[in-house]
Amino acid sequence: MSAPGGSGNPYPLGLRLAGRRVVVVGGGAVATRRVPALLDAGADVLLVAPELTPALRAHADAGRLHWAARRFVPEDLDGAWLVQVAIDDRMAAAAVSAAAAERRVFCVRADDRAAASAWTPAVTRHGPVTVAVLGGGDPRRAVAVRDAVRELLAARIGLPTAPGSPVSTSGSTAPGDPAASGGPAVPGDPLAAGGPAGSGGSAGTAGGRVALVGAGPGDPELITLKGWRLLTEADVVVADRLVPGLLLDELRPDVELVDASKIPYGPSRSQEEINRILVDRALAGKVVVRLKGGDPYVFGRGGEELLACAAAGVPVTVVPGVTSAVAVPAVAGVPVTHRAVAHEFTVVSGHVAPDSPASLVRWDALAGLRGTLVVLMGLKNLAAISATLVAHGRPAQTPAAVIQEGTTSGQRILRSTLDAVAADVAAAALRPPAIVVIGDVVHALTPPPPSALAEDAEG
């Protein structure tokens, strides 16, 4: 029973979820947007769904969450502190709500705000200060007010409005089907009922276009200002697996999110299908952002997507990104060039084995260079790459480093030598995404560590 005279308005509360079980039911686009913020909060996430998007599958494969590959059962909520329902099946969602109510677990629902016992707000942060906005069940209103507050903070204290430190944002996850809450984004009063957020969505107009945007190496604060602005204007975002998940959580709730993840040697969309999505959405009048990890043109197939759009008459904007080839080693304490150590660096793809007829890399020529060699996507073929370089004259004791999940909280650094690095990587159980750096710059800023594996505290 409500207290006499109570309004029934939501009671604002900050949840400290680190180490606490949070259940997410559903493995589609809504869950793809919700999960990164929960992981960032340190929650012990149980994801219950028969199938997952490639991006969520990557989280599961990396051990960042637990995946129950089946339908929900009430016992999934035993010991849980919170459940988020990210499915559009009303009957199944109601069953989760009922099980949550029986166990006194707060339940956020993406399909029916009125049936939810909790809503999650649109958030903006400044250092230790968090401003959270609930929009009375209207997620677009919450995002609009959130953005207005962020702009005010930026104007008052002279900070950027992108997600760069110390101001960052988190998108509204207030209940309401994101796909159904749509409507074009137009400027207006952020407090107006149903007032959408954002500065330029063009759904349903003739202004369709595509932007190829580099999201940077992993840290969401390393996207460029222009890239961030285009995300706020997007109607559709087509995102890769290596895109920082928190950037997706910041999207307007009416934005269509298309998972274009490509799991190494696993499930993925074909490039032709991705090209078709970009062209079709743009020709339908949508503002489409193709969001890629790193830089769109550094092994990102951005050129193919530009050509496909150009052939269809779709205008394209290219927004370069901070490439992981340079940024990840830098954050790990490895400069790719250093005075009196290396005056050149070469970036190559290791996706194709050195002895494959499909390889376009002259590994024999690279072995004769004295500078730094940066290998992207080379973990699977690292043993063959190392052996080939040594066979063609690169000294076996050349320093080598492998950096996993660079610039993120999961960053790990392994330092070794060219002849031993593949075995050391296997022993340390390093996994993609990882970058290999070969050359004397590995120890240019730090002496060789006593242990091959050093956990990076910077994250």
Residue 367 has pLDDT above 70, yes or no: yes
Q: Is the pLDDT of residue 193 over 70?
A: no
Which is catalytic among the residues 219, 235, 262, 456? Answer: 262
**Last residue within a domain, chosen from 279, 303, 322:** 322
Question: Are both 442 and 398 inside the same structural domain?
Answer: yes
Is 10 part of a structural domain of the chain?
no
Output the six-digit token pair for 96.
């989760």
pLDDT of 315: 97
CA 152 to chain centre: 27
Q: Which two tokens stand for residue 426?
A: 């296997």
Q: Single out the catalytic residue among 138, 240, 424, 456.
A: 240
Residues 310, 334: one domain? no
Please compute Rg for the chain using Cα positions. 23
Residues 315, 224 share a domain: yes
- The label of the residue with tokens 């004769």 reads 368
Q: Final residue of a domain: which of 273, 300, 322?
A: 322
pTM of the predicted protein model: 0.75
- As given in the structure block, the two tokens for residue 173 are 């996850």
pLDDT at 341 over 80: yes
The residue among 195 and 246 whose pLDDT is bigger is: 246
The verdict on residue 345 lying in a domain is yes
Q: Which amino acid is at 138?
A: D
The predicted pLDDT at position 199 comes to: 39
Helix, coil or strand: residue 74: helix
Residues 434, 376, single domain; the answer is yes
Neighbouring C-alpha atoms within 13 Å toward the C-beta of 85: 36
Alpha helices, H only, 190-224: none
**Phi/psi at 136 (5° precision):** 65, 30
**CB of 53 closer than 8 Å to CB of 259:** yes
Of 327, 375, 322, the closest CA to residue 352 belongs to 375
- Known catalytic residue: 262? yes
Asked whether the predicted pLDDT for residue 403 surpasses 60, the reply is yes
Q: List beta partners, residue 48.
A: 25, 68
pLDDT in tens, 296-325: 999 999 999 999 999 999 999 999 999 999
Q: Could you tell me the two tokens for 193?
A: 């009922």
CATH number of the domain residue 430 falls in: 3.30.950.10
Is residue 218 located within the same domain as residue 250? Answer: yes
Same domain for 71 and 92, yes or no, is yes
pLDDT at 29 exceeding the cut of 50: yes
Residue reference for tokens 């309004």: 7
Is 188 a member of any domain?
no
> What pLDDT, in 10s, does the model give residues 98-125?
999 999 999 999 888 889 999 888 877 7
State phi, psi for 294 to the nearest 5 degrees: 70, -130
Q: Is residue 234 part of a domain?
A: yes
Catalytic status, residue 189: no
CATH number, domain at 217? 3.40.1010.10
- Provide the pLDDT for residue 254: 85
Same-domain status, 101 and 147: no
Same domain for 40 and 147, yes or no, is no
Indicate whether 51 and 108 sit together in one domain.
Answer: yes
Number of domains into which the chain is organized: 4
Query: Which domain, by its residues, includes 131?
Result: 120-176
pLDDT at 150: 75
Q: Which residue has the higher pLDDT, 203 or 270?
A: 270
Please report how many Cα atoms fall inside a 13 Å half-sphere around the Cα of residue 308, on the Cβ side. Answer: 21
Per-residue pLDDT for 7 more than 80? no
Q: Is the peptide bond before 166 cis (omega within 30 degrees of 0)?
A: yes
Does 192 reside within a domain? no
Q: Which amino acid is present at 249?
A: D
**CB-facing half-sphere around the CA of 411: CA atoms within 13 A:** 23
Residue 8's pLDDT band, with cuts at 50, 70 and 90, is confident
